[in-house]
Structure 1
Amino acid sequence: MTRSEPFPQHVFPADEAAVLELARAVRDTGYSFTTVTPASHAHVNMRPRNAEAQALRDVFGWSRPFRAGLLPEPILRLMREAGAVVEDGPLLRPTLRFSSLDDELFVHSAYPPSAADAVFFGPDTMRFVGAVIAYVEGRTAPVRRAADLGCGSGAAGICIAKRKPGAEIVLVDINPAAMRAAQVNARLAGTESVVVRRSDMLRDVEGSFDLIVSNPPFMIDPAARAYRDGGGPFGAGLSLAVAEQAVERLAPGGTLVLFTGAAIVEGKDPFRDAVAELCTGAGLDWAYREFDPDAYGEELATEAYDAVERLALVVLTATRPGSRP
């Protein structure tokens, strides 16, 4: 295998207790890392001096191969016990990453996130969580029950739980790997009110919610990776499906905060038109804004986006009028 070939992605470890123990040990070192986009990650790692890890951060942030003697023995032992390391010739490779957000660490899949069930965490996660935190901290109505729909690492739901300690927070995903990561991250953050549930959207979760948040996949992905492929026209299918299900499950006074991408075609936003019709028809108060007018410009060079002039990151906030009794 050459450095130009991506290292094969491995299944997220099944032993949650072992991963949690490893996460706590890494946190105790004072580790912190801001995860960049896969494109930036690839550029930085291809620099010759970065061919091999030289520090803990290189291993658990940059997913670089390392020699066994680089890490403290207790951490390497915990990696082995958790199934979070594999051999790569004379070197070792981590199969997990740890990223910093909201004064917490979150475990997710190592780079490259090429597996169909990879647990993604990146700049969009941070943008999404930032939008959710801004909404929660500005909300005056109580939050008794909230859902993070398609939760991935669980970052948004966990950050809500930290600010609404009396609320029931349901982290929902259909990906077992994401559920394991979310469970570890919730315990690592000490958010005891968080419940992780397997469900296709909200079909297997009962009841209504004061807050539903979601950052669904919104790209056209030929590899059909669960964390990236949105399906439907220009990748908007899943985002629209999330909105349709969520508005049916909002309690009086309940709000949906949806962070996603929108393909702009000839100056028009078909996704905005669709959610406008949905929210107006459901009698919701709603707002829609472009968070970033031009993201993922490299995708415009692909055939799938030939008709698209830009990809915008957008935030939809939709509220059902009224209040809980």
Structure 2
Amino acid sequence: MKISVDGGSFCTPENNQFGNYTFSNSLIGALSRYDKENKYTIYSFCNFPKDTSLNKNFTIKKLLPKYFWSKVRVAIEETINKKDIYLALNQSIPMMSFSKIISFSHGLSFHFYPGLYKNFSKLNDQLEEMIYDSDKIIVSSTRVKSELIEIEGKSSKKIHVIPYGIPADMIKTEKVKANSGEKYFMHVGMDHPIKNVDFIIKAFKSLKNGKTMNGHKLYLVGCKRRINDSHIKIVPYANRAQLKKLYRGATATLTSSFYESFNLPVLESLSQGTKVVGLRQAIVPELRPYVALADDLNEFRDLMKKTVINPGFRNTKKIIKEFAWENYVKKLVKLY
């Protein structure tokens, strides 16, 4: 089959490469490793990353101009050079395509918390188009499937759950030393109100001077605000190698989002042998068996203290086996 892929997320600036970028990069890499039969054309509006190694059944096509790119420019390409399938990795569908459309939904936080999104109207329009124009919709969790069905019950038959895999750079076998020196908790994520970072700051500040904390600090990775507290370290950007070291050196990764469709930092942290403490609402059902879950601030604080006393996550082999990109690709290809 001839398959086209939305590779627009590869044009995201390096210091703003969060969930969608990591997902797209991981999926395309996995398709290259595990699907040698189908022919893929990746659309982009920038030069593709030089360090991306792809199999010979992959072609990269730069489409310009970038204005109205996914709606118009990609539609023109799809009309001229027809494919069998279009993988809409970024929830945006071309205005015209003769291909079977497989869309990937990355969550509905904007739907449930519209006040936190300035571009709510645009995101909501994309959601409606995705539901009605897609032949199949891939979601990362049973949670998202249930929510989509609540929004539009007729969509149930086209929705398929395939949990993400651990990014390849997090399971490479080369030795990577943990971030040495300080003892710390960490939070990883874009600086957006949906991440509810103030909750984590509040929990940490209420504990930082206690004997149990033993000099721990809080690293906020991806945060760009200023915080006047010597115990809180702002890390606006960390590349993937740095992030891997940070995970390995942390006592625990903390998450308290109002909503998550999957929460890749949780999976990444667990893959590095580091525990995760999370509010229940921030953890999808597929990851809950592996996370220390809290329902309120007091429970969250208690779990933080417990990780100081008993750090380390010991089920990394099980995590790596269960959340493998090879499994993802096998399930996806069956839907072609």
TM-score, normalized by the shorter chain, greater than 0.5: no
Question: Is the strand fraction higher in 1 or 2?
Answer: 1
Q: Which has the higher contact order (CA 8 A, sep 6+)?
A: 2
**Which has the larger helix fraction?**
2
